[in-house]
Structure 1
């Protein structure tokens, strides 16, 4: 087995830092002023008849951090064509990918927190579908829920988006809990719009390139040296993959450098003392961040400062191979479920919980279950 340590550090720091951009402003406003404006989700609440989640006493407080490429805001409103052009992207018929999934474990014994990345192509049990890539859990469940809502006569598109998003989140949470046997205590999700709005609120973010580069697909066109990017340019900067020597790996390096710079700028003296900047920042958080109702942003902001100072262990789940193939020919990341559970439990100084023969599944996802919808 192997662990993609360096890549995982960059991804984990990137998403946690992006969430922290919004959360850090909490210390400068009242709780009601910020917390009450952020959309929440009941994705952590089991429904009647569903199997119970793993035991709460698993040795840590666990926050699931999710990065979404949704073309809606956090209220479910479709982004207008003008905004999509500014984001340098286009409509995608409501499909949602969650290609960044990170489990942030904060041990209750005072140990060092850990950010554990779950690769997007991890092949695992998905509730109601059998085995599939974990990054498809949210999107396929969302599409199925949206289809059901329309079949029931619902015509409010924003409500369809919000309710189907909740179902997608629920299935993703269950899949992560089934895989790790860790109860998810809190949930935080940032959408595509978040990058754009937060960089605009900060007045741009300083970056530095060793070489000039361009990529028509992402809209990237950057000169060599130090420069300030914001809005659509910032998105192009973190999304560029083509014409980089190592493709996706170099894109992850870009994202880490960008987000570290943004977090440093946010926490620097003076940034959050400007009423205009703070108002723009709060608007960005309101439109791009979704939390579970119990997540205290002040506590998260304090943890985010620890992340920025390096007080965090970065890791990825153990994998058997990153070059596997599913029975239907998909490129997948193969794992040993027991090894994953042992590893995750060990981060909180615990042994993995015992499960029934065959691995067990907290939400009853049978490996042979028929998929609700085909992956798009």
Structure 2
């Protein structure tokens, strides 16, 4: 049980972008299970949104101006399988709407608020209450610790298929693959106002950052044996402190095991969400977990099973949509196709009255402006066999021109959980595996 905390030391340094660097174990960590199934080891990693102790110059350098909330800003539950041959990392969005533990009368709020009420211990018990799992270890980490650790490890690699800019975090990078230092990695991990605003996209970027750091550490031999792993662990311990039950030998053994873990044996996911903007008086906008999917997720972890490929957690739609049809405005020059796309959730304007009297030879043609490739892919999925055409200077609408070939409108399914947080193995998240995005 003690050795598993080593995984936390590495992941906490690579993932979390918040708080003062500190580690804390909760009462009973090595005692009898306090709920859940007790298979494998569960570790809760949090970053606390606090600017305490940071000078004005440090805040400016880290781009963390403003007032901290003294609440958890980043939260990941790491499950190490009993045989140590699989690691599953589940991000818990900070705005998750849950019932706090040990409060009478019962009180509900954002999961990040548990820390402000009762610190790490209440945070742990609240996560246990919400998930039904036993938490074996707990760790906090921080802004400066994160920055220093990434720098000490030689920087990080990030990749994106489009420019990423967020004034709040200070992130500003072009499309492509970039090697960045600790400061840049912190900005990348904290960015919340890119593409679709919110935590889910940020969480996926954090997962990609962790994946590529681990890929590089293994490729460079930093976790290839006891000696190299000990050197890496000592580097991490400059910015991450562990609880008193965790020694260097424990960290080396687990770090070495992590180095032997193939990318397809490391899983990442975000808790499935049902309602993305549940407004609660006095609390604000919250995220409500999808009941059956989240329960299936916790059940899989509690029974030490993989979370990827489990259709209870992530059903496989027949025709998945990359973006939400409700945000895609389309002009269609055929009444029947217009009606079918409207029923599919697209915002449709019927232009059939101005359609040509003689249809052009060939399939449906979708015309659109450059930069709208993801929405174009969603529309094309609803119109299988269609041809895409980028038109310079085109307006924000998509134009669908029906040709002589028969048209079939396919029902597409948009699930934001699929787009931003579906269970996936690390080999699909890494830059080498094509894991890009905003």
Structure 2 length-normalised TM = 0.53
Q: Distance in 2 between matches of 1:324 and 1:235?
A: 29
Q: Is 1:99 equivalent to 2:79 in the alignment? A: no
The 3 A distance-change label for structure 1 pair 174 and 112 is same
Q: Return the offset for 1:134.
A: 0.9
Q: Return the offset for 1:84.
A: 2.5
Q: Return the offset for 1:317.
A: 4.2
Larger radius of gyration: 2
SS at match of 2:147: helix
Q: Return the offset for 1:66.
A: 2.0
1:325 to 279, 287, 291: 279
2:197 to 209, 230, 247: 247
Structure 2 gap ranges (5+): 1-7, 16-20, 305-438
SS at match of 2:140: strand
Task: Return the structure number with greater helix share.
Answer: 1
Q: Is 1:186 equivalent to 2:137 in the alignment? A: yes
Q: What is the aligned-residue RMSD (CA, Å)?
A: 4.1
SS at match of 2:49: coil
Q: Distance in 1 between matches of 2:274 and 2:166?
A: 34
Q: Return the offset for 1:40.
A: 4.2
Q: Distance in 2 between matches of 1:224 and 1:349?
A: 41
1:87 to 54, 59, 62: 62
Aligned residues between the structures: 282
Which shows bigger deviation, 104-113 or 221-230? 104-113
Whose relative contact order is higher, 1 or 2, with alpha carbons under 8 Å and at least 6 apart? 1
Structure 1 length-normalised TM = 0.60
1:131 to 100, 108, 111: 108
1:19 to 12, 18, 30: 12
Which shows bigger deviation, 109-118 or 130-139? 109-118
Query: Where do residues 161-176 of structure 1 align in structure 2 (5 Å cutoff)?
Result: 168-176=119-127
How far does the alpha carbon of each residue in 1:233-262 deviate from its partner, in whole angstroms, 9 at most, with x for none? 3322333343x3233454444333333222
Query: Where do residues 113-262 of structure 1 align in structure 2 (5 Å cutoff)?
Result: 113-129=87-103, 130-141=107-118, 168-242=119-193, 244-248=194-198, 249-262=200-213
2:245 to 293, 298, 321: 293
Q: Distance in 2 between matches of 1:208 and 1:109?
A: 33
**Corresponding residue number in structure 2 for 1:63:** 43
